[in-house]
Structure 1
Amino acid sequence: MKLVLSQEQRHLRESVRAFLRAASPLPKARQGYDPQVYARLNGELGLSGLIIPEEYGGAGAGLAELAVALEETGAALLPGPFLTTAFAVFALTATPGEELLSAIAEGRTTATLARHGLEAPDDATVSGTLPQVLSGMDADVLLARAGDVLVAVELSAPGVTRTALETLDLTRGQAKVTLRGAPCQVLGPWPEIDDLVAVALAAEQLGVMRAALDAIVAYAKVRVAFGRYIGSYQGVKHKLADMHCKLEQAESIVRYAAWAADESPGELPEAAALAQAYVGRACFEVARDHLLLFGGIGFTWEHDAHLFYKRAKADEVLLGPPRIHRARLAQLLEL
């Protein structure tokens, strides 16, 4: 088991972090999805093809490397369909969908994934309504479960209606997608990828946690109240220490789950359930407490604290509330 990043993974982390710091700082994240940032992200770093097999034009890396990238995109609150495209790649790799994988690896296509909601396809068309599709307004292709099969639908095709939703997370939108006889491509049986999706989301949540904690620690070192830096008050120090402990535990859980996905698939179900049972709630608690420790300024629209709070809450419930994952973990452990 490897819980420490390799030298190559550390280099990847620094490259992604430096790129996002320059190309997508937090003030820009408020503006939403920028296709030019994605074009550079894929052209300069090749992140869209990171986990795509080499025969389809990707780098052939594992989930451990993807987790490193997702931690940085989470810390930057990167808008747009990077996370959902990773979800789609899990499905396409298991199927596989050669043409779509090549298009994603080349940066020509972004995708989103819907795990429920469509009727079984009929004569190469599909119908149904998906009430909430993550990055549904930004992605080019929808991969969805229709009956027991995986289908691909071009979101610009006839028969497809997308309606932007007003959501909690300002930095990553959702859409209602309605399909009425939309042309589709049946790719194969629906693959079991829920565990991979859970680990990828946990990696993003780890990045949100880390960035939130870094921000409030920096603030505690410069904010003065009653003649003292607030970081010197016992109540603040204890709260920051608690947040740090949650971060350390979350990092170990995510690193283990990503390792299991790559090296020990038999351990993945328990690791993935643990990741969402613990990391989702811990991420929200850290983001909540960091906002509270900022005091009144943290509640203002102009401050970034509420952006982390909202991303943390949206991510926490994206795959269902933590109690669902705790129940699944208990079942897997026969408790």
Structure 2
Amino acid sequence: MATRRGAQGWEDGSLRPMLPQAATAADLPRGEGWGAEVKWDGYRVLLGPAPERSRRPGLRLLSRTGQDLTARFPQVAPLADLVADGSVLDGEVVSLLDGRPDFSALASGDPAAVVRVVVFDVLRHGTADVTAEPLTARRERLAGLPLPACAARSELFDDVDALLVATEQQGVEGVVVKRLASPYRAGTRSGDWRKHAHRRRRTVLVGGWRPVEGRPGPPPGSLLVGAPDAHGDLRFLGRAGSGLGAALAHAVGSRIADAGDRGTSPFADAVPAVDRRGARWCEARVRVEVAYRERTGGGRLRHPVVLGLREDAEPDPWEDA
């Protein structure tokens, strides 16, 4: 879902507001004119210079909703030298556990994980806006940049099927296929970038919670989650309790407390009695990432697992499969 809410881009007017280009979930094209990359399981960011008035001069990280994530990931501060000339890069912050991206470790700040940025595009090279250049030209610019140890380039492959097999075998999230001749379309979802995830994932809103059985209060034992539909109404997606370990449950509970309680359900549709029994309702402001097998005919998520808090992305719309 393309989003432009609250973005603060870099000061060059031609690149403002500057938000990452999004990929469309669709059948993956093959053949000449297309390249495939690993779909990384992390926080999508744009990396560029901090404004001169900033309290933290050097590097600035913006999420795909325009949120400043600079302070959250001090491990990637060495990239400041690379963008000091005004360059702006597109990439993904990932946490690596045993060499593989782990979103839960990233969301929780697991100290055992290694934080890295995988860089896959260049939007501005020095003072030059290069978004109109084809992807192949932007990738050549990326190849010439001396990345520090906290960063790596995302490789571009020509065999989509081989990459699909390899990423599934290695437990990586999925694949993105990009048109090699395409420009960079900031802040939009384009068919020039198409994605496939091996596991279904989405960002959802928490509209209520149920305590652990036998305990009267927080932390939550399960979450009642939903998604906004095309009319802006919050629609019920189901109850998710798997994945809520002690640390994550306390973190989510703290955010729910900040969001505020409410006396009635925020969902526009009726919550089944089996789910609402003992439920506490809250303002639907807390976002979490969930994995699930599929959606039922009624729209519920089947076997949802809570992966972590999601601060860098808007909730996926109800209409998304």
TM-score past 0.5 threshold: no
Structure showing the higher helix proportion among its residues:
1
Structure showing the higher strand proportion among its residues:
2
The TM-score, its normalising length taken from structure 2, stands at 0.28
The TM-score, its normalising length taken from structure 1, stands at 0.27
